[in-house]
Structure 1
Amino acid sequence: MVENFIYYLGLVLVIIGAIMLANRLKVAYPIILVIAGLLISFIPGLPAMKIDPELIFIIFLPPLLYEAAFAVSWKELWRMRRIITSFAFIVVFLTAISVAFIANSFIPGFSLALGFVLGGIVSPPDAVSAGAILKFIKVPRNVSTLLEGESLFNDASSLIIFRFAMVAVATGQFVWQEAALSFGWMMFGGLGIGLLLAFVFLEIEKIFPTDVNMDAILSLVAPYVMYIAAEEVHASGVLAVVSGGLYLSIRRHEVFRTSESRLRGSNVWESFVFLINGIVFLLIGLDLPEIMVGLHKEGISLSEAVGYGLLITAVLIIVRFLASFGALFTTLIMRNFINVADRDPGMKVPVLLGWTGMRGVVSLAAALSIPVIMENGQPFPHRDLILFITFIVILVTLILQGLTLPGLIKQLDLPESQGKLMSEEESEHFLRRGMRHVAFSYLNENYKDRRSENEYFNKLMDRWEQEDKEDSGHIMSAEAKEIYFETLEQQRIWLREENRRNPDIDEEFIRHYLTRLDLEEERLRI
C-alpha cells in the first residue's frame, strides 16, 4: 500500500515535470504527458494504475466540463450559436455514422452497433488539447470561441450516441421510438436539472452566510451534484453540468460575492483542473500495456490493430475537413437570408478548424467505461480492440495534429481581425475611459463635499480624474478605503452592464478588468 502511494505521488511529480518541459519547449502539454505515460508503462515492476470504469466519468468529466462552461463567454457563445450547434451535434452525428459504417465494413466481427460504440467514443474533439496548443499562438477570437463552444456540447452528443449504442450491443436490438423519447429526455432533462440545481446553489449562496473556503468548496461540489443527479434519472449528466455551469457563469458575481472569494476560487479551480487534466493524459499512455494484453487474448496482431486505428483516424480527419468546408459554404449561402456571426470567414479558417480535431479526455473516459462483462454475463465483444483503436486515435491526433498545428497557424497567417469586435487597443481605451468616468461621477455625486475636508480624499478623486498611477494605499485612512471600495463596486456594476449591452466588446477584456479591480481591492485590504 505504501509502495503504491509513493508511486502515485511520483506520478504527480511526473505530471508537473512534464508540463514544465512542455512549457519550456512550447509544446502542448497533453502531447508530453501521453508520451511520458507511454514511456513509464514500459518500466518493469511498476504497479498498474487502474480506475473502476464506472467512476471514470464521475471523477473526471464533471469538473472539466464545469470549468470549461464557467470560463466560456456566453455572449460569444450565443453570437456563434448556429455554427457551434452544427459542429457540436450535426458534425458529431455524421462522424459517428461514418466511423460506424467504416468499422462495420473493414474490421472483421464488428457489428454496426459496435461501430456506433466506437463512433460515439472517438467523435468529439478534445478542447483541452486544442486550448493547450492555442495558448502559444494567437488566433482570431471567433475561432477560439468556436472550439470552446463546440467542446461544451459535442461531449454530450457523442456520449448520447455511445449510450444508445451500448444498449444496442447488450440487447441486440434498437427500437427507434424508444430511442427518440429517451434522447429527448436525456437532452431536455439534463438541461433542466442542471439549471434547477444551479439555481438552488445560487440561492444557498444568497440565503446562508458563507466564507471564502465555503464558496470554493461549494463550487467544487456543484458539478458532481449536477452530474450524478441527472444520471440517476437517466438524463444527460454532461448537459446538466454544462447548462448549470453556464447559468452560474453569467451570475459569477453572485456565486463569489467578494473579491477574495473570486480570486481564491479561481486559484483553487486552476490547480484542481491542472491536476486532473494531467492525470487523464498520463493515463492514456499508462493504459497501453493492459490494452496490449487484451489484444493478444483476442488473437489480433499488433499490425492489424494499428492499421484499424490509423483507418479510423483518417476517417475522423476527412469527415472534419468536409464538415468545416461544408460549414463555410452554408455560411456563404445563409448570409444572404439571415445574420451570421462572420459574413466573410475566408478559406483559411475551415483549414484550421479541420486540423483541430485532436481527441483526448472524453474519448479515453468513454472507452475505459466499457464494462468487461455485460449484464447478461457475456464478455463485451472486442472491448480491447476498441480501447486500442481509441488509444491510436488519441496518440496520432495529439502528436500529428498537435505538433503541426502551431506551424499551420503561422503558415495560414490568419488576420487578427475579430469582425465587429473592438480591437485590444480600442477595448482598453474604451474601458479605462468608462471606468474613470464611473468612478469620478460616483465620487462627485456622493462625496463632493468631502474634498475640502481631507487631503487623502482629494488624492482619491485625483486618482480617477487625472489617472494618477501613484500607490496611494498607504496614505488612505480606513474611511477613505471604504469609500474607495464602494467606487470599485460601482465600476464592477458598470463593467457587467457594459458586457451585457455592448455586443462589440470582447468579454475577455471585461473579465480582465474585473480581475484587476479584485486585485486592487485585496491589495488595499492587506
Structure 2
Amino acid sequence: MENIEIIVLLLFGVTFLAVLSNRTRFPFPIALVLVGLVISLIPNLPVVILKPEVVFFVFLPPLLYEAAWKASWHEFKTNIRSITLAAVGLVIFTTLCVGWAAHTFIPGITWAEAFLLGAIVSPPDAVAATSVTKGLGIHPRLISILEGESLVNDASGLIVYKYALAAILTGSFELWEAGFQFLEVVVVGVGVGMAVGYVLYLIHKNFICEPLVEVTLTFLTPYASYLIAEHFHASGVLSVVTTGLYLSFRSADMFTTESRIQANSVWEVVIFILNGLIFILLGLQMKMVIPDLESVGSVGIPTLLGYGLLVSLVVIAVRFIWVFPAALIPRWLSSKIRTREEYDRRNLIIFGWSGMRGVVSMAIALSIPLTLPSGETFPNRNLIIFLTFCVIIVTLVAQGLTLPAVIRKLKLPKHSILAEEYEVRTKVLGAAMVHIEEKLLDLDEATKDTVRTNYQNRFERLQHTELPLRNPQEKDTNPALAVFNRLSHVQLELIEVERELIKQLHKQGQASEEVLRKIEWELDIEETRLQLEIIK
C-alpha cells in the first residue's frame, strides 16, 4: 500500500510537471526522463520490483495502438520504402553494431546479452521527435517517415529482442531458423492485426451506438489484438500496429461524433498517465539497479556512466552511417525515385539527429525476466536496464534539446501547415455552399437565408485572412488574421455569458440537473469548435 501511495503522489508531480512544460514549451518527453532521473536520486523512496510480463503487456499495446491511430495510412503507404529501410534495416544494423561494441568494450557481457541490449535501444521514439520539432516547420514527409519508422521499428526491435532473449534462456541460436521465423511472425502478425481490425470495424459500425461502450471497446482492442497474435506465436506488437492503422483509416465510418470526442479525450489522459507512470517506475527501479551494479561487479559510477556514454554514441553514430546510403543508393538505382522524391541533404541530417529513444525502449528493458529457467538471476539484467536509461537520457536530452538549433542552423525552408489548413477549409465551406444552393431547394427562404449567411460569413472571413501567405513564425502581426479571429472571439465571449447564467441557475436550483448538463455540454462542444477554428 505504501508503494501505491508513493506512486500516486509522484503522478501528481508529473501532472504539475506537464503544466510547467506547456507554459515553458519545454518538450514533455525530455521532462519525463529527467523526472525519472530525479526520482532515482531521492532518498528513502521504496524500491518497486515489477513483474516483467506485466510491464510488457500493460504498457506496450495501448502506447503502440495510440501511435498507430494517429498515423496516416496514406503517408505510411507512400513512404513505405523509406520506412521499411529505417524500421527493419536500421534496427538490425543498430542491434549488430551496439551488440559488437557492448561485447567488445564492456567486460562480462556475452554476445547474446549484448545483442539483447542492441535490440532494446534500436527503436527510436517518434513522439519525442515530433514533440521537439513541433512548430519548427519541418516538411510533413519527414515527420511521416519518423512516425512510420517508430511504428514498425518497435515491432522489428521487439522481434529481435525476443530472439536474443530466447538465445539466453535456451543457450542456442540458429541464424537461418531465426530468419525464417522472423518472416513468419511478421506475416502472421500483420494477418491477425488485419483480421482483428476488420471484425471490430464490423462490430463498431453495425452493432454499437452507445458512446461509453465504444470508448471501452477501443481500450480492449489493442490488448485483444496483442493476445490473439501471441497465441499464434506471431508478433503481438505488429498486430497491434496493423489493427490501429486499419481502424484509424476507417474511424469516420465507425464512430458517432459523441463517441469520437469522448474517445479522444479519454485516450489522451490514459496515454499521459502511462507515459508518466513508466518513468516513475523506472526511477524507483534505478534505486535498486545502481547499488546492485556497484556491489556485484565492483564497478564505480564513473565507469558505468562511461559504458552508458559509449553505447549512446554508438547508437547515434550508427544512425548517420545508415541514413545516407539508405537514401542515396535507391536514388542511384531508380530514375522513378529521382523523379518522384525531392532530395535535400539537410533533411537527412535532421532525420539522423532525430533518433531519440523513449518509453518503448524503457518498457522493453523493464520486461527482461528476473530469473533464468534454472532459477538463477538473469545475468546483467540491471546493467542492461542502466545502459538503456543512459541511452534514453543522452538521446532525449542531448539530441532533443539541440534538434531545434540544428534545424535553424541548416536554414531549411519552413513548411506552413496553415496553408494546407486554408485549402481544406476553403474546399469544405465551398462544398457546403454549393449544397445549399443546389440541394436545399425545398427550404423556405428565411431558413435558407440564415444558413447561407452563416456559411458566406465564414467563407469571406477565410478569404480575407491571406492565410497561405502568412509566415508560420509570425504572431499577431497580420491585420487580416485579426479580422478572421475576431468573430470567433466574440462568439466565445457570448458563450461565456451563457455559461455564467447556467452556473447561476445551477447554484440557485432553478433548473433540473439534466437540462443544465445538456446545455453545458452543447456549450462545451461549440466552444471547442471555435477554439479549433481560431488560427494562432
Same fold (TM over 0.5): yes
Other-structure match for 2:177 = 178
How much does 1:460 deviate?
1.0
- CA 1:83–1:517 in 2, change beyond 3 Å: closer, same or farther? farther
Aligned 8 A contact 1:331 1:340 in 2:
no
Other-structure match for 2:150 = 151
What SS does the aligned partner of 2:414 have?
coil
- Return the letter of the residue paired with 2:127: V
Question: What pairs up with 1:13-32 in 2 under 5 angstroms?
Answer: 13-32=12-31
Q: CA RMSD in A?
A: 2.6
Other-structure match for 1:79 = 78
Give the TM-score taking structure 1 as reference length. 0.84
- CA 1:424–1:388 in 2, change beyond 3 Å: closer, same or farther? closer
Other-structure match for 1:195 = 194
- CA 1:320–1:431 in 2, change beyond 3 Å: closer, same or farther? same
How much does 1:83 deviate?
0.8
- CA 1:57–1:440 in 2, change beyond 3 Å: closer, same or farther? same
Question: What pairs up with 1:285-324 in 2 under 5 angstroms?
Answer: 285-301=283-299, 302-324=301-323
Matched, 1:460 2:451: yes
What SS does the aligned partner of 1:324 have?
helix
Other-structure match for 2:218 = 219
Q: What is the alpha-carbon distance in structure 1 between the residues aligned to residue 204 and residue 335 of structure 2?
A: 47
- Return the letter of the residue paired with 2:264: S
Aligned 8 A contact 2:129 2:354 in 1:
yes
What SS does the aligned partner of 1:447 have?
coil
Aligned 8 A contact 2:119 2:157 in 1:
yes
Aligned 8 A contact 1:462 1:468 in 2:
no
1:81-109: per-residue Cα shift (whole Å, max 9, x none)? Answer: 11111000001111101111122222222
How much does 1:429 deviate?
4.3
Other-structure match for 1:439 = 432
Question: What pairs up with 1:117-132 in 2 under 5 angstroms?
Answer: 117-132=116-131
Q: What is the alpha-carbon distance in structure 2 between the residues aligned to residue 450 and residue 382 of structure 1?
A: 75
Other-structure match for 2:33 = 34
- CA 1:436–1:130 in 2, change beyond 3 Å: closer, same or farther? closer
What SS does the aligned partner of 2:439 have?
helix
Question: What pairs up with 1:99-138 in 2 under 5 angstroms?
Answer: 99-138=98-137
Q: What is the alpha-carbon distance in structure 2 between the residues aligned to residue 321 and residue 288 of structure 1?
A: 30
Aligned 8 A contact 1:80 1:341 in 2:
no
1:197-216: per-residue Cα shift (whole Å, max 9, x none)? Answer: 11111111123233111111
Question: What pairs up with 1:100-499 in 2 under 5 angstroms?
Answer: 100-256=99-255, 258-301=256-299, 302-338=301-337, 342-344=341-343, 346-417=344-415, 424=417, 426-452=419-445, 455-465=446-456, 467=459
Aligned 8 A contact 1:28 1:132 in 2:
yes
- Return the letter of the residue paired with 2:441: K
How much does 1:110 deviate?
2.0
Aligned 8 A contact 1:335 1:343 in 2:
no
What SS does the aligned partner of 1:174 have?
coil
Percent identity, aligned pairs only? 39
1:112-158: per-residue Cα shift (whole Å, max 9, x none)? Answer: 21121111111111122212212253311112111111100001111
Aligned 8 A contact 2:436 2:448 in 1:
no
1:38-78: per-residue Cα shift (whole Å, max 9, x none)? Answer: 22333332222332111112111111111111111111111
Q: What are the ranges of 5 or more consecutive residues in structure 1 without an aligned counterpart? A: 418-422, 474-514
How much does 1:172 deviate?
1.7
What SS does the aligned partner of 1:448 have?
coil
Q: What is the alpha-carbon distance in structure 2 between the residues aligned to residue 36 and residue 425 of structure 1?
A: 34
Range moving further from structure 2, 385-394 or 156-165: 385-394
Q: What is the alpha-carbon distance in structure 1 between the residues aligned to residue 18 and residue 127 of structure 2?
A: 13
What SS does the aligned partner of 1:370 have?
coil
Aligned 8 A contact 1:34 1:284 in 2:
no
Q: What is the alpha-carbon distance in structure 2 between the residues aligned to residue 391 and residue 86 of structure 1?
A: 26
Q: What are the ranges of 5 or more consecutive residues in structure 2 without an aligned counterpart? A: 462-486, 492-524
Q: What is the alpha-carbon distance in structure 2 between the residues aligned to residue 320 and residue 114 of structure 1?
A: 21
How much does 1:337 deviate?
4.2
- CA 1:89–1:293 in 2, change beyond 3 Å: closer, same or farther? same
Q: What is the alpha-carbon distance in structure 2 between the residues aligned to residue 244 and residue 113 of structure 1?
A: 32
Q: What is the alpha-carbon distance in structure 1 between the residues aligned to residue 203 and residue 128 of structure 2?
A: 35
Q: What is the alpha-carbon distance in structure 1 between the residues aligned to residue 105 and residue 423 of structure 2?
A: 59
Question: What pairs up with 1:93-104 in 2 under 5 angstroms?
Answer: 93-104=92-103
How much does 1:317 deviate?
0.7
Aligned 8 A contact 2:124 2:358 in 1:
yes
1:229-252: per-residue Cα shift (whole Å, max 9, x none)? Answer: 212221111100100000001101
Q: What is the alpha-carbon distance in structure 2 between the residues aligned to residue 41 and residue 99 of structure 1?
A: 26
Q: What is the alpha-carbon distance in structure 1 between the residues aligned to residue 281 and residue 5 of structure 2?
A: 17
- Return the letter of the residue paired with 1:398: L
Q: What is the alpha-carbon distance in structure 2 between the residues aligned to residue 44 and residue 109 of structure 1?
A: 30
How much does 1:262 deviate?
1.4
What SS does the aligned partner of 1:371 have?
coil
Aligned residues: 471
Aligned 8 A contact 1:120 1:161 in 2:
yes
What SS does the aligned partner of 2:164 have?
helix
Other-structure match for 1:510 = none
What SS does the aligned partner of 1:276 have?
helix
Aligned 8 A contact 2:120 2:364 in 1:
yes
